[in-house]
Amino acid sequence: MLIRFEVNGSAVEVEAEPRLTLADCLRHQLRLTGTHIGCEHGVCGACTVLVDGDAVRSCLMLAVQAEGAKVTTVEGLSDDAELTPLQKSFRKHHALQCGFCTPGMITTAHALLSEEPECDAGRVREVLSGNLCRCTGYIPIVEAVLEARAAYQQKTPA
Amino acid sequence: MKTVNAFIGSPIERLEDLRFLRGRGQYVDDLARPSMLHAAVLRSSVAHGRMRAIDTAAARALPGVHRVITAEDIGAPVPRVPMRLQPLPDFVRFGQPVIAETKVRYVGEALALVLADSPAIAEDALALIEVDIEPLPAVADSRASAADQSLLFEETGTNRAMLFRATRGDAAAAFKDAPYVRRETLRTARHMALPLEPRGLLAEWDAARGKLTVSGGAKVLFFNRRTLAKEMGLPESAVEYVENDVGGGFGARGEFYPEDYLVPFAARLTGRPVKWTEDRREQLMCLNHAREAECEVEIACARDGTILGLRGHVHVDVGAYMRTNGAVGARNIAQFMSGPYRIPNIDIDVALQLTNKTPVGTYRGPGRFETDFFRERLLDMVARDLNLDRVEFRRRNLVSRQEMPYQIATIRPFDKEEELDSGDYHATLDRCLAEIGWAEKAKLAGKLIDGRYHGVAVACFIEGGAAGPKETARMVLEPDGMYSVYVGSSAVGQGLETAFAQIAADALEVPMERIKGVFHGSTSYVSDGYGAYHSRSVVMGGSAMLAAAENLRTAIREAAAKRFDCNHEQIKIVDGRTAVGPNGASIDAAELAGEGISVEGAFLNSKHTYTYGAHAAHVTVDPKLGHVELIDYVIIEDCGRAINPLTLHGQAIGAAVQGLGGAFMEQLRYDEDGQLLTGSLADYLIPTASDFPNIRAVVLDEYPSPINPLGAKGAGEGGIIAVGGVMANAVANALSSLCVEPRQLPLSPQYIWELVQQAHPAIAVVDAARGGRIESPANTPPTGA
């Protein structure tokens, strides 16, 4: 069936089987391969995207459910010219090694910091505990997210 | 102006990050080709049985299905997955056919490959294949295996694939006269590397050129190319293995698996590109498992705590087949049980027992994680028996700096002598104690505060690295004056491009910006390569780059010498940019480059490096819930020479958390019929962001390795090796008033709770007072874990 939604600010139209997941739709139909698939059962968080601003596991959502929604992927949170403050902070703290969990971490952290720019380390750990990373041990990721808070605090002054 | 370079040793932010952070990494499943077919694998749901029939008619009739491949299509004899490491002739008979032929031997073994227009159709078709398997009794663990009642390979008459034996000195004599002996039975559970990206392969057959290209390779591209070319009857030059971005390896990914044959075979058969992407359930049942071992070990000591000997028998559950690196873990358990300690008399044998479970392979710190748990656990028990301070006991027995290089046990049937290369093991132990604040923390040992017992522990480790025989690098002076580097090493997410650019820039004495790129991951880049395993990339690939850089500088001098009509030794290269002749005449290197100057360099090596250090931990244990909280964890390691302290630190922390998974959470469970019970990430738990927030690492480079020009040692595994031992000892220390002695991993809440319930302080006190010959109270472990 034909579905219409918005991805990273652009309107898209996709012919999708009802059983197609949003993750497969983004990756294989729209060729936005920054969103990764790690488990297809909603545990690892690698496929996290933003749907109308909320962090969502795109492997647990059908593409047809995105009808009319605004979807943002890691590509939509990136800039060609330079890294965003969140990405810079990840790089500085060595918060990624193999890079496979990274898009899900970036989207999850972006959603958290957009809503709660004052969050503390405990809250960061709690929210990120839904995203698995097998390389870093998480400590540098938490440090990176905490340092990136400043950029979000400026954006949305309390 | 002379460029003074010190990229080596600088915490340089990674080059790889720029693409990964933007979602522009390119992993194998990101690839797509016109007219590509999608493969799905039908896997055995029976652990042990005889293949009677397989009917694929209904699957073939499904619209969108192009082909279903079974053993019959491949033809007898079906190719076997070879042994890459320890390729002993005795292993051949236990090799895995790339598709089940006459028997199935584990749940997950490939039975058929469906090729279809989409992955979904391919998976639909799997459900339509009818398989008739005559079930046989499953061999569910190494004890059942050793009984040889039900045989995996009837024609061999045994389930024992091999018996390794590590020896040094005269253990029998040492034990005969020893005043103190303790015997224990200790176990580690089956778990796995579980890289976050599942495997995948994309194979393309170019019939016109007779060329096969396989994307999705990792780790050991050149070996896999050799294997595939041989099995498919192609010259090596007709096969190219390509490595894409790799979502973690940890030893398991990149080995030659059955799919490494099946997918290219399908591409050649159909003439169309074929892609296969593993899902998580498949990964849990198909990627190499690891670490399942049972160790009956005995230690002999003098009354003053001098270790006199170590002997024992180990049973390793190797799963259903011997494939690629499946012997490494078992071998390492035997050879490295002495770890960093001076143990003059050793006799340890390790039986590799086949069972109806997924075959094993290496997982970060293979064998070392297990054997460190066995040894360090035992050392704390001995210290308690002999009323010795745990730290002093270790100090007394650590190999000293003056004894380096220090020969350790010899392993048979290899007979290769092995020695620890360099270092000051006492210094890292002392540093570790200082960092964690041992003197203060030790006062808390065993104390019950607010319902939780406090425990502290320290353990020492060595980490092997730098496997030979060789690595190759090629350096190119490009027409634009930039330098390109090509290596036979592989990237598996460890930051190889950045570290290698640092080494190359220093070797060529140019800024890092002049390194156009570090190119890895194709069998076309260099003449021969060995890849990334055994923490070898920096030592082997890095040293090969030094050789290539020297050769390139010679080539540049020779080119300049021709221009200036002089001897090449009279040419100086300034800033890696300008060649200056004897009369001060100069020429830009870019001008000399012409079409480019390209040279190779190689590094050959038959010895190993040993990074070493110590871990210390402070935990609290809730005796009512069996829950352990990690209050503080310190890792100290000396890796000879740090290339990039930022990424090295990341390796240590990341490895430690992975090890904590193995120490507390991770276990691949099977039932008595050989059914895998942990087939999802909801059943197989790995650490999350909220589990272990308090870990610190200090990486030193005080004692360079004498066996390579960089002075580097393989690093990246040290953070995981000591974790199981130190955590079990910390729990034992916390519960010392109850005389609880953990004897297995993982330290699940249930297991700790059971130990607390079964605690018999009075009996244990009698044992300790006796201080003579002591055995485990029982060989039957509690049911939990």
Segment B276-306, tens digit of pLDDT? 999 999 999 999 999 999 999 999 999 999 9
pLDDT at residue A34 is higher than 60: yes
Instruction: Read off the DSSP letter of residue A65.
Output: G
CB-based contact B280 A44, cutoff 8 Å: yes
The Cα of B14 is separated from the nearest Cα of chain A by a number of Å equal to: 7
Q: What is the CA B256 to chain-centroid distance, rounded?
A: 15
Q: Which residues of A touch B680 (CB under 8 A)?
A: 39, 41, 43
Q: What is the mean pLDDT of residues B308-323?
A: 98
Same domain, A23 and A61: yes
User: What average pLDDT does this structure show over B376-394?
Assistant: 97
* Residues of B whose CB is below 8 A from A92: 13
- Rg of chain A's alpha carbons, rounded to an integer? 15
CB nearest to A38's CB, from B196, B647, B654: B196
Percentage of residues in chain B having pLDDT higher than 90: 90
When computed from its CA atoms, the radius of gyration of chain B, rounded to whole angstroms, is: 27
Whole-number Å distance between alpha carbons of B34 and B32? 7
For residues B713-742, give the mean pLDDT. 96
CA B228 vs CA B84, B156, B521: distances in Å? 13, 27, 17
B4's CB contacts (< 8 A; 6+ apart) are: none
Residue appearing with tokens 């024609």: B155
Confidence of residue A154 (pLDDT cuts 50, 70, 90): confident
Cβ pair B653:A139 closer than 8 A: yes
Last residue of a domain, one of A33, A54, A77: A77
Q: Quick check: B493 and A98 CB within 8 A? A: yes
C-beta atoms of A135 and B688 within 8 A = no
Residue B777 pLDDT greater than 80, yes or no: no
Residue B773 reports pLDDT greater than 80: no
Pick the most confident of A151-155, B485-489, B538-542, B721-725. B721-725
> Cα separation of A20 and A24, whole Å?
7
Angle at B82 between CA B218 and CA B468, to 5 degrees: 60
CATH number of B17-25+467-516+523-591: 3.30.365.10
Whole-number Å distance between alpha carbons of A51 and A73? 9
- Residue B253 has a pLDDT of 96
- Type of residue found at B314: V
Average pLDDT estimate for B604-613? 95
- B282, B318 Cβ separation under 8 angstroms: no
Q: Are B54 and B132 a contacting pair, CB within 8 Å?
A: yes
- Determine the pLDDT at residue B594: 82
Asked if B339 and B267 touch (Cβ cutoff 8 Å), the reply is no
Please report the pLDDT score of residue B583 as a whole number.
86
Q: Measuring CA to CA, which residue among B186, B193, B209 is closest to residue B253?
A: B193
Out of A47, A77, A107, a domain closes at A77
Residues B612 and B640: their CA atoms lie apart, in Å, by: 9
pLDDT recorded at residue B593: 86
**What's the pLDDT band for B780 if we cut at 50, 70, 90?**
very low
Cβ distance of A41 and B680 shorter than 8 Å: yes
Residue B774 has pLDDT above 90, yes or no: no
Classified as helix, coil or strand, B163 is strand
In this predicted structure, the answer to whether residue B416 has a pLDDT above a threshold of 80 is: no
Mean pLDDT, residues B539-550 taken together: 95
User: Across-strand partners of B484?
Assistant: B476, B517
Helices (H), B469-582: 496-508, 542-564
| CB-based contact B573:B557 (threshold 8 Å) | yes
C-alpha closest to that of B54 among B128, B154, B138 = B128
Is the pLDDT reported for residue A69 higher than 90? yes
pLDDT in tens, B256-271: 999 999 999 999 999 9
The mean of the pLDDT values for chain A is 96
Average pLDDT, chain B: 94
pLDDT-derived band at A158, boundaries 50, 70, 90: very low
- Classify residue B342 as exposed, middle or buried by CB count within 10 Å of its CB (0-12, 13-18, 19+): middle
**Interface touch A98/B248, C-beta < 8 Å:** yes
Residues A151 and A92 in one domain: yes
Distance from CA of A36 to the nearest CA of B (A): 8
Asked if the model's pLDDT at residue B133 lies above 90, the reply is yes
Q: What is the CATH number of the domain that holds A33?
A: 3.10.20.30
| Same domain, residue pair A44 and A23 | yes
Stretch B398-411: mean pLDDT, rounded?
A: 96
Residues listed for chain B: 785
Q: Which two tokens stand for residue B730?
A: 């910390």
Query: CATH classification of B289-417+424-466+608-775 is 3.30.365.10, yes or no?
Result: yes
B638 pLDDT exceeds 50? yes
| Nearest-Cα residue of chain A relative to residue B279 | A39
From A17, A20, A98, residue closest to B196, measured CB to CB: A98
pLDDT confidence bin for B4, thresholds 50/70/90: low
Q: How many distinct structural domains can be found in chain A?
A: 2
- A47 with A99, same domain? no
The average pLDDT across B388-401 equals 98
- Mean pLDDT across the stretch B729-758? 97
Domain of A61, in residue numbers: 2-77
The pLDDT confidence band at residue B492, using thresholds 50, 70 and 90, is: confident
Supply the pLDDT for residue B239. 97
Q: State the Cα–Cα distance between residues B267 and A132, nearest whole angstrom.
A: 34
User: pLDDT tens-digit profile of B354-383?
Assistant: 999 999 999 999 999 999 999 999 999 999
Q: Give the single-character DSSP code of B245.
A: B
Amino acid at residue number B494: Q
Supply the pLDDT for residue B9.
Answer: 95
pLDDT given for residue B498 in this prediction = 95
Is the bond preceding residue B746 a cis peptide, omega within 30 degrees? yes
Q: Of the residues A45, A77, A109, which one is the last residue of a structural domain?
A: A77
Beta strands in B272-336 (DSSP E): 274-277, 289-290, 293-301, 307-319
In the beta sheet, which residues pair with residue B214?
B203, B241
Residue for token pair 């590109």: B273
Name the band, by pLDDT with cuts 50, 70 and 90, for residue B779: very low
Disruptive mutation site among A37, A100, A146 for chain B (greatest number of B CBs within 10 Å):
A100
C-beta separation of B490 from B503 below 8 A: no
Rounded mean pLDDT of B597-622? Answer: 96
- Which structure tokens are listed for B160? 């024992």
Mean pLDDT to the nearest integer, B594-612: 92
In this complex, the residue of B22, B689, B692 whose CB is nearest that of residue A128 is B689
- The answer on A64 and A34 residing in a single domain is yes
Task: Tell me: do A37 and A60 sit in the same domain.
Answer: yes
CATH architecture designation of domain B31-136+197-247+253-286:
Alpha-Beta Complex (3.90)
Q: Do B13 and A92 touch (CB under 8 A)?
A: yes
B693 and A125: CB-CB below 8 Å?
Answer: yes
Per-residue pLDDT reduced to its tens digit, B640-687:
999 999 999 999 999 999 999 999 999 999 999 999 999 999 999 999
Q: How many CB atoms are closer than 10 A to CB B199? A: 26
Q: How far apart are CA A23 and CA A3, in angstroms?
A: 15
Backbone angles phi, psi at B114, to 5 degrees: -100, 135
CA distance B779 to B772: 19
pLDDT (tens digit per residue) in B699-712:
999 999 999 999 99
Interface touch A135/B493, C-beta < 8 Å: yes
The pLDDT tens digits of the residues spanning A93-110 come to: 999 999 999 999 999 999
Alpha-carbon span B489 to B504, nearest angstrom:
14
ipTM: 0.97
Q: Could you tell me whether strands B293-301 and B307-319 are parallel, antiparallel, or unpaired per DSSP bridges?
A: antiparallel
Residue A53 to chain B, least CA–CA distance (Å): 18
- Please state the rounded mean pLDDT for residues B581-604: 90
Residue B204 has φ and ψ, to the nearest 5°, of -130, 130
How does residue B766 score in pLDDT terms, banded at 50, 70 and 90? very low
Three-class HEC string of B362-418: CCCCCCHHHHHHHHHHHHHHHHHHCCCCHHHHHHHHECCHHHCCEECCEEECCCECC
For chain B, the structural domain boundaries read: 17-25+467-516+523-591, 31-136+197-247+253-286, 289-417+424-466+608-775
Q: What percent of chain A has pLDDT over 90?
A: 97
pLDDT mean over B161-183 = 97
The CATH number of the domain holding residue A90 is: 1.10.150.120
| pLDDT grade for B760, boundaries at 50, 70 and 90 | low
- The answer to whether residue B30 scores a pLDDT higher than 80 is yes
Measured between alpha carbons, how far is B527 from B84 in angstroms, rounded to an integer?
19
Closest residue on chain A to B194 (Cα): A134
> CA B310 to CA B316: how far, in whole Å?
18
Question: A32 and A93, same structural domain?
Answer: no
Q: 3-state secondary structure string, B318-346?
A: EECCCCECCCHHHHHHHHCCCCCECCCEE
What residues 15-74 of chain A have any CB closer than 8 A to a CB of chain B? 17, 19-20, 27-28, 31-41, 43-44, 46, 73-74
Does this chain's domain B31-136+197-247+253-286 share its CATH topology with B289-417+424-466+608-775?
Answer: no
